[in-house]
Amino acid sequence: MKEFIKGFKEFALRGNVIDLAVGVVIGAAFGKIVASLVSDIIMPPIGLILGGVDFSDFFISLTGEQAATLAEAKAAGIPVIAYGSFLNSLIQFLIVAFAIYLVIKQVNRLFPKKEEVKEDPTLCPFCKQEVAEDATRCPHCTSEITPVVKNS
């Protein structure tokens, strides 16, 4: 049992796990900010432009029963497709995706990828196929090869 607890402690306190936990907490807080941005700032002007419509109240009753708002429909137990809430969630997703794109773009600019320097492969002088640097025979044509000694 002590080994199990010790192993779990090593796993839980590893840097990556703690970083992931911090990321999840910050992501949840960021999600709440974006949800507020969409429902409290972006959607009201759009609704006003469209004639004072509240997108969160857009729904389709599946039974044909009518209700003035989504809250009334849910309180009455009417099954609905709440496509207005879906539109809000879709806009929230697009904002989060755009924000993540901007962050990743900046991180990539700050830390450019290192280009790997790839050496030219050693080729068999007879069949021109790639062979190991220290090969004495070509695995493709079986010709004898003098290994090339490179100075470092």
The answer to whether residues 139 and 75 belong to one domain is no
Phi, psi torsion values for 89, nearest 5 degrees? -65, -40
pLDDT value, residue 114: 75
In a shared domain, residues 9 and 82: yes
Residue 56 C-beta-side C-alpha neighbours within 13 Å = 12
Kindly state whether residues 73 and 134 are assigned to the same domain: no
Q: Tokens 């290192």 sit at which residue?
A: 114
The two three-digit tokens of residue 23, written as one number? 């990321």
96: Cβ contacts below 8 Å, ≥ 6 apart: 30, 31, 34
List Cβ neighbours of 118 (8 Å cut-off, separation of 6 or more): none
Helices (H), 13-133: 15-36, 43-49, 70-75, 83-110
Length of the chain: 152
> Cα separation of 147 and 142, whole Å?
14
Over residues 38-47, the mean pLDDT reads: 82
| DSSP β-bridge partners for residue 53 | none
Pair 142, 82 in one domain: no
The CATH number linked to 44 is 1.10.1200.120
Neighbours of 92 (CB within 10 A): 18
If you average pLDDT over residues 97-116, what whole number do you get?
A: 82
Distance CA 88, CA 39 (A): 7
Answer yes or no: is pLDDT of 54 > 60. Answer: yes
Both 97 and 61 in one domain: the answer is: yes
Its sign, for the CA torsion 23, 27, 33, 37, is positive
In this predicted model, which residue has the larger pLDDT, 150 or 116? 116
Look at residue 152 and tell me whether its pLDDT is greater than 70. Answer: no
pTM of the model: 0.52
Last residue of a domain, one of 110, 129, 144: 110
Q: What is the pLDDT of residue 151?
A: 58
Mean pLDDT of 48-75: 84
Q: How many CB atoms lie within 10 A of CB 102?
A: 10
Mean pLDDT over 97-118 rounds to 81
- 76: tokens are 């009455």
Mean pLDDT computed over 88-97: 83
Q: Are residues 134 and 96 in the same domain?
A: no
Range of the domain at 144: 119-152
